[in-house]
Amino acid sequence: MCIRDRNNKSLLLNGSFFEDEYLKKIDILNNLEIKSVYVFDHYQNPEIKSKPVYEIKEAINKLNEVNKNFEIGSMVLNVRKRKKDILLNDYIYQFMEIKNFNLGLGIGDEKYEKKNKIFKNNIEDIICKIQSHKIYDGNKVNIILGGNSKFFFDLCLKYSIGLNQWQGSLENIKNKIDLFKKANINESKISYCTKNLKFSGKELNENIEIIYALSENKTFKDQIDDISKYCLN
């Protein structure tokens, strides 16, 4: 994989992305100057329930098997969806084998799907296990917490890890940037997910990562055209 100089702009793939000519879509993504491509962790399509949805590990494997000019990651892997040993051995440690993997973690909610079983895995304990793993530093694994709680923010400061905000106000993002700087943590560890494919991020005037969430409601081509026109110039 050859990662070239690029914008701090990334994509979050929609649930049905892999159903139709995904290799051609990846070729198109390779011609964009983007940082990362992320996948989410849902059992049901969060936008249109009748549409298919990828399984996160299968999606990561497909992305990892192809030649690409971008990093890959999870946004986010739900640490309470699986038994701890399965979460670590079958998901997290396997993802960590991928160099420069952006490991987004969260605890989930029931906004998009009802959970039949919730495992009481402690996210701070999971962070510690990741950072103490022998390949964490060598493979330059990047941990990102997805959530807006003070608890999550405090964990980011304590362990010098990334933080993702799902939409919300730019004022909240600016406040987080200021607090990261005061803690001597690079603001590039902060990311902002948006469905607004015309949002360039120039209003922030900071080096944070902007992640554009692709939708089921528009064609892949139309969305990439918008991102290319408004956000990557």
Give the per-residue pLDDT at 2.
42
- Hey, what amino acid is at 179? L
Give the per-residue pLDDT at 148.
87
**12 forms bridges with which residues in the sheet?**
38, 213
What is the mean predicted confidence (pLDDT) over 101-106? 98
Give the per-residue pLDDT at 110.
59
> Rounded to whole angstroms, what are the CA distances from 52 to 46, 88, 91, 128, 222?
10, 26, 21, 34, 20
Angle ∠(110,222,147) on CA atoms, nearest 5: 25
> Per residue in 35-81, pLDDT tens?
999 999 999 999 999 999 999 999 999 999 999 999 999 999 999 99
* More confident: 219 or 118: 219
What is the mean predicted confidence (pLDDT) over 103-118? 78
Report d(CA 206, CA 123) in Å as an integer: 28
pLDDT surpasses 80 at 108: yes
Report d(CA 175, CA 193) in Å as an integer: 16
For the chain, what are the domain ranges?
9-230
> Per residue in 184-213, pLDDT tens?
999 999 999 999 999 999 888 788 999 999
What is the mean predicted confidence (pLDDT) over 4-27? 90
CB-count burial class (<10 Å; 0-12, 13-18, 19+) for 158: exposed
> Per residue in 136-186, pLDDT tens?
999 999 999 998 899 999 999 999 999 999 999 999 999 999 999 999 999
Give the per-residue pLDDT at 3.
42
| pTM across the whole model | 0.95
Give the model's confidence band at 117: pLDDT under 50 very low, under 70 low, under 90 confident, else very high.
Answer: confident
Confirm if 192 and 164 have CB atoms less than 8 A apart: yes
pLDDT surpasses 50 at 1: no
| Token pair 């971008």 in the structure block, residue | 70
Closest CA to 207 of 185, 191, 195: 191
Tokens of 110: 């029931």
Per-chain mean pLDDT for the chain: 93
Give the model's confidence band at 231: pLDDT under 50 very low, under 70 low, under 90 confident, else very high.
Answer: very high
pLDDT surpasses 50 at 5: no
Give the model's confidence band at 112: pLDDT under 50 very low, under 70 low, under 90 confident, else very high.
Answer: low
pLDDT surpasses 90 at 109: no
Closest CA to 215 of 205, 224, 206, 207: 224
Contacts of residue 10, defined as CB under 8 A and 6 or more positions apart, other chains included, come to 34, 35, 36, 37, 38, 70, 191, 209, 210, 211, 212
Angle between helices 150-159 and 123-131 (to 10 degrees): 20
What single string gives the DSSP state of each residue in 76-130? Answer: EEETTSS-HHHIIIIIIHHHHTSTT-EEEEE---SSS---S------HHHHHHHH
Domain 9-230: assigned CATH number: 3.20.20.30
